[in-house]
Structure 1
Amino acid sequence: MRQILSVTIPVYLLIAVGWLAVRQGMFAKPDLRILGKLVVSFCLPALVFHALSTRAIADVLHPAYLLAYGGASLLMQLGGLAWARRVQRKPWSLSALTGLGMSASNSGFIGLPIVQALVGPIAGVALALNMLVENLVVIPLALALAERDGEAAEVTQRWHNTLRQTLRGLLVNPLILSILAGLAFALLGLRLPEPVARAVQMASAAASPLALFLIGGTLVGLKVRGMAADVVLVVVGKLVLLPATVAALLWLLSWWLPPIDPLLQASALLMAAMPMMSVYPVLAQKHGHEVFCAAALLAATVASFFTVSALTGWLAASGALPG
């Protein structure tokens, strides 16, 4: 347990430092946008590109991982939407956001530092595969479904507009471009010149600490009061049910597809157990549900310290993690 906490505690301490820095006025909320732009536009893309481009293509493309993680994400997304819509009678927009909260992990800002410390460089491959699932499937589907509030004809037009804008944004998304570039380098066996490769590696090394500081700052001012029952539903779905579904699908797929690296399997479970992405409340602003989503983000981030530590302990005890 001490070894597990030696990995998880520093991660959450950096989140706490970010929270304190903003809470005490050392950084303002607008400052975080600049920091976030640096991380998303340069540091994380550099890390993803470095992780993919320095491996053979066979070590990067894992159909079983994509099917298990993508399938579990879709099951949780549609299951959360159906529960909120059919059982709780929530509007389409809030139902879609409920499903998104249960299915979209904070793979880059929180997942990567923890998984990298536990399994090593292969965490970058897991991050890239997760980014494909989240950016090409989960987020566009959630945004499109959220547009179903209102009159049918207007909804259809907004649905098409949302999908078109999302796809257009993907074409200039630095993370998606870094994934494509990394896959191309891996496929063709290319390597960057040594000075450029070192620069990319230096930028990638800054991704984790900056991301953790950023997520801590974004939690300042968020409240959970008055929404406990609905928030608990999203948090349990995200932190418990999603990793359990990923584990079940990995086991089922192992009967038909070649097995993947055990460390990559552990990475999939750990990534799935992370809280939802930090832009979750931002995506909800258009529909007026940002307060609920912010409360869910805060609760999931705090609770994840205990659930991720428990999952890490179980993986270590079962021999899925290196000693």
Structure 2
Amino acid sequence: MISFLALCLPIFAVIGVGWAAAWRGAITPAMVDAVGSFSFLFALPALLLRLMASQPLGRSFDPGFFLGYLGACLAVFALVMAAALPFRRRAPAAAIGAAAAMGNVGYLGPPLLLPLLGERGAGPIAMSIMSEVAVVLALGSVLMAPGSGLRTMGRVGRILIRNPVLLSIGGGALLGAAAIPLPGPVERFLGFLGGAAGPTALFALGGTLARLRIDRRLLAVASGAVAAKLLLYPLVVWLVLGQALGLAPVWVQSGVLLAAMPTATNAFVLAQRNQAATDEVSAVVLFSTLIATFAFPVTAWLVAPPVALP
């Protein structure tokens, strides 16, 4: 257990540094946005492209894992939304459902999963991003947006096909499937640029969390979605991947750990854009991140292989 804490807490500490810097005014919101944009547009795509291209597609992609993880994701989304519908309209209920089903797999997945599982974790990270970003974000946008669903689907589709993270996953998968090795200088360039993905993403996440303003009332409101995100979601993934599908342990471990990630700030952006349960979703993002600081190492200790620290 100590080894998992030693691995995870320094990573979450970078989030704390970003939060403290923004809260103390050492950095401006524009600086936080710039760091986050660098990570999203350049560093994270470089990391995922190199990792996906470096291994055969059959090793990084498993149809059973993808369908099982996506099914668990949609099940949690639907359950939480259905539980919220008697008390709220469709848009706020969908926002809370999305908060329970959208983990910070893009920013937290690489720095937390790769040290535990090695480069084999790149495939599960990519598939979880496809599930929680490409599918849940699109579904949530349609359910939250007023007016024509077709118009909303078209707008979301245009955003997704230009998403640099999704494009890098697709490009890396094609290179891996074709067994085309990256030239040495290109691989070193992607490795150097991608090495900045973790620290910059985590720092920007902390700075973003510092902007969220919540009160005690929201703690009770958000507690159900936080419990669904950090407890129900990993449990459903474990049941689907391990018990129902009987996948190999590495796939089950990867899925459970990815499901145990705290809620992504994308869920807050989505709620804010559609003016749906913005305060509640911001509370879910903040509280799930705080709780995951200790909940994730416990989850890793329960399901992951032993950690060999340097």
CA shift for structure 1 position 292: 1.8
2:5 maps to 5
2:267 maps to 280
Question: What is the distance in 2 between the residues matched to 1:26 and 1:42?
Answer: 24
Question: What is the distance in 1 between the residues matched to 2:272 and 2:215?
Answer: 17
Structure 1 residues 24 and 322, CA, compared in 2 at 3 Å: closer, same or farther? closer
CA shift for structure 1 position 305: 1.4
The 4+ residue runs of structure 1 with deviation greater than 6 A are none
CA shift for structure 1 position 207: 0.6
CA shift for structure 1 position 322: 5.0
1:166 maps to 156
Letter in 1 for 2:43: C
2:125 maps to 127
Deviations 1:13-36, CA, capped at 9 Å, x for gaps: 111111111122221112111111
Determine if contact 1:48/1:125 at 8 Å carries over to the other structure.
no
Name structure 2 gaps, 5 residues minimum.
none
- Matched residues, percent identical? 28
1:14 maps to 14
Q: Which of 210, 234, 248 is equivalent to 2:225?
A: 234
CA shift for structure 1 position 72: 0.5
CA shift for structure 1 position 290: 2.1
Question: What is the distance in 2 between the residues matched to 1:315 and 1:61?
Answer: 21
Question: What is the distance in 2 between the residues matched to 1:202 and 1:286?
Answer: 34
Letter in 1 for 2:234: P
2:185 maps to 195
Determine if contact 2:4/2:300 at 8 Å carries over to the other structure.
yes
CA RMSD of aligned residues (A): 1.5
Question: What is the distance in 2 between the residues matched to 1:33 and 1:221?
Answer: 12
Q: How does 1:235-254 map to 2 (within 5 A)?
A: 235-254=226-245
Q: Which of 181, 204, 213 is equivalent to 2:203?
A: 213
The answer to whether the aligner puts 1:90 opposite 2:88 as a matched pair is yes
1:152 maps to none
Question: What is the distance in 1 between the residues matched to 2:215 and 2:126?
Answer: 32
Which secondary structure does the structure 2 equivalent of 1:105 belong to?
Answer: coil
Determine if contact 1:92/1:147 at 8 Å carries over to the other structure.
no
CA shift for structure 1 position 321: 4.3
Determine if contact 1:39/1:210 at 8 Å carries over to the other structure.
yes
Question: What is the distance in 2 between the residues matched to 1:186 and 1:110?
Answer: 24
Aligned length: 306
TM-score by length of 1: 0.91
Determine if contact 2:61/2:124 at 8 Å carries over to the other structure.
no
Q: How does 1:177-196 map to 2 (within 5 A)?
A: 177-196=167-186
Question: What is the distance in 2 between the residues matched to 1:285 and 1:216?
Answer: 18
Letter in 1 for 2:81: L
CA shift for structure 1 position 229: 2.3
Question: What is the distance in 2 between the residues matched to 1:312 and 1:60?
Answer: 21
Letter in 1 for 2:229: K
Determine if contact 1:105/1:271 at 8 Å carries over to the other structure.
yes
